[in-house]
Structure 1
Amino acid sequence: MEFDFLKPLDNEILQFIKEFSSQQLGSKVVFHTIEDFPDINKIKVAIIGVLDNRGDKNQTEQVDLSHIRKELYGLFPGNWDASIADLGDIFAGNSSDDTYFALKKVVSILIKKKIIPIVIGGSQDLTYALYRAYDDLEQMVNLVSIDNKFDFGKESDPVSASSYLTKIIIDEPNNLFNYSNIGYQTYYNSQEEIDLIDKLFFEAYRLGEVSNNISIAEPVFRDADVVSVDLTVVKSSDSGILNPFMPNGFNGKEICALSRYAGISDKVSLFGVFNHNNSKRESVLIAQIIWYFIEGLHYRSNEYPFGSKENYTKYIIPLEDELVFYKSNKTDRWWVEIPFIINGNNKLNKNTLLPCSYEEYLGACNQQIPERWWKAQRKNVI
Structure 2
Amino acid sequence: MNFEDFIISPRSFKTESWQIGSRISKGIKEGSIVLLFVSDYRGVGGDAEMQDFTGVRKEFYKLSQLDFEVPVIDLGDLVSGKTVEDSHYILQEVLSACHYKNAVPVIIGGSNDFAFSLFSALNFHQKNINYTQISNIISLKQGESINEQTFLSKILGSKNFSIKNYHHLGYQKHLNETDSIKLIKEVQFDIVRLAEMMNSTEKTEPFFRKADLVTVNCDAVESFNDPFSMNPQVNGLNKREICAYMKEIGLSDNLQSVGIFNYNIYSDNQLNHQLLAQMLWYLIEGINIQRSHPKERHYEMFYVLIDDTEYAFRRDVFSNLWFFGKDENIENCIPCSRKDFDEAKKGWLNPRLMKI
SS of alignment partner, residue 236 of structure 2: coil
2:151 corresponds to which residue? 164
Contact in 2 for aligned 1:144/1:179 (Cα 8 Å)? yes
Contact 2:20/2:61 (8 A) holds in 1: yes
Secondary structure of the residue aligned to 1:166 is: helix
Q: For the aligned residues, what is the CA RMSD?
A: 2.7
Question: What is the distance in 2 between the residues matched to 1:110 and 1:242?
Answer: 27
Aligned equivalent of 1:113: 101
What pairs with 1:14-93 in structure 2 (closer than 5 Å)? 14=12, 17=13, 19-31=14-26, 38=27, 40-41=29-30, 44-58=32-46, 62-93=50-81
Q: What's the CA shift for 1:315?
A: 2.6
Say whether the 8 Å CA contact 2:250–2:285 is kept in structure 1. Answer: yes
Deviations 1:317-358 (A, max 9, x none): 456775332211111111123869xxxxxxxx9961221111
Alignment partners' CA distance in 2, 1:65 and 1:218: 30
What does residue 195 of structure 1 align with? 182
What is the one-letter code of the residue matched to 2:103? I
What letter corresponds to residue 301 of structure 2 in structure 1?
K
The amino acid that maps onto 1:214 is: T
Change (3 A) 1:218 1:206: same
The answer (yes or no) to whether the contact 1:6–1:87 under 8 Å persists in 2 is no
Q: How far apart are the structure 2 equivalents of 1:158 and 1:321?
A: 50
Query: Which residue is 1:294 aligned to?
Result: 284
Matched with 2:137 is 149
1:54 to partner: Cα distance:
1.1
2:321 is equivalent to residue 333 of structure 1: yes
1:354 equivalent to 2:344? Answer no
In structure 2, how many angstroms separate the alpha carbons of the residues matched to 1:163 and 1:223?
Answer: 26
**For the residues of structure 2 that align with 1:159 and 1:322, how far apart are their CA atoms?**
47
Change over 3 Å in CA distance of 1:107–1:98 after alignment to 2: same
Give the counterpart letter for 1:84 in structure 2.
V
Task: For residue 46 of structure 1, report the CA deviation from its aligned partner.
Answer: 0.8
Relative to structure 1, the CA distance from residue 4 to residue 22 in structure 2 (aligned partners, 3 Å threshold; closer, same or farther) is same
* Shift in CA distance, 61/321, structure 1 to aligned 2, threshold 3 Å: farther
1 CA distance for matches of 2:2 and 2:229? 39
Instruction: Find the counterpart in structure 2 of residue 365 from structure 1.
Output: 345
Q: Percent of counterpart pairs with the same letter?
A: 28
Distance apart, 1:89 and its partner CA: 2.6
Task: Map residues 231-380 of structure 1 onto 2, 5 A cutoff.
Answer: 231-237=218-224, 240-241=227-228, 244-278=231-265, 279-281=267-269, 282-300=272-290, 307-308=296-297, 311-317=298-304, 323-337=311-325, 352-375=332-355, 377=356
TM-score, normalised to structure 2, is 0.89
The SS at the match of 2:149 is coil
Distance 1:235 1:335 in 2: 32
Cα displacement (A) at 1:86? 1.0
Size of the alignment, in residue pairs? 352
Shift of 1:211: 0.6
C-alpha distance in structure 2 between counterparts of 1:83 and 1:62, whole Å: 27
Check 1:338–1:140 CA distance in 2 against 1; reply closer, same or farther (3 A cut). Answer: farther
Post-superposition offset of 1:150: 1.3
Amino acid across the alignment from 1:146: I
> What amino acid is aligned across from residue 278 of structure 2 in structure 1?
Q
Aligned counterparts of 1:103 and 1:237: Cα–Cα separation in 2: 31
Report the CA distance between 1:260 and its aligned residue: 0.6
Looking at structure 2, the residues matched to 216 and 117 of structure 1 have their Cα atoms a distance apart, in angstroms, of 27
Shift of 1:61: 5.7
| C-alpha distance in structure 2 between counterparts of 1:338 and 1:270, whole Å | 30
| 2:112 alignment partner, one of 114, 118, 124 | 124
Distance 2:198 2:330 in 1: 35
Q: SS at 2:94's partner residue?
A: helix
Partner SS state of residue 30, structure 1:
coil
Residue type of the alignment partner of 2:186: K
* Alignment-mate amino acid for residue 290 of structure 2: R
Pick closer, same or farther for the CA change 1:126–1:294 going to 2, 3 Å: same
Report the CA distance between 1:291 and its aligned residue: 0.5
Task: Tell me the distance in 2 between the aligned counterparts of 1:304 and 1:159.
Answer: 41
Give the 3-state SS of the residue equivalent to 1:89 in structure 2: strand
Aligned-partner Cα distance in 2 for 1:167–1:64: 30
Normalised TM-score (structure 1):
0.83
Q: Map Cα deviations across residues 156-201 of structure 1 (whole Å, 9 max, x no partner).
A: 3521123211110111213122221221111111111111121011
Q: Measured at CA, do residues 258 and 165 of structure 1 come closer, stay the same or move farther in structure 2, by a change above 3 Å?
A: same
Paired residues of 1:5 and 1:102 also in contact (CA < 8 A): no
Give unmatched runs, 5+ long, in structure 1.
Answer: 32-37, 341-348, 378-382
- AA partner of residue 289 (structure 2): Y
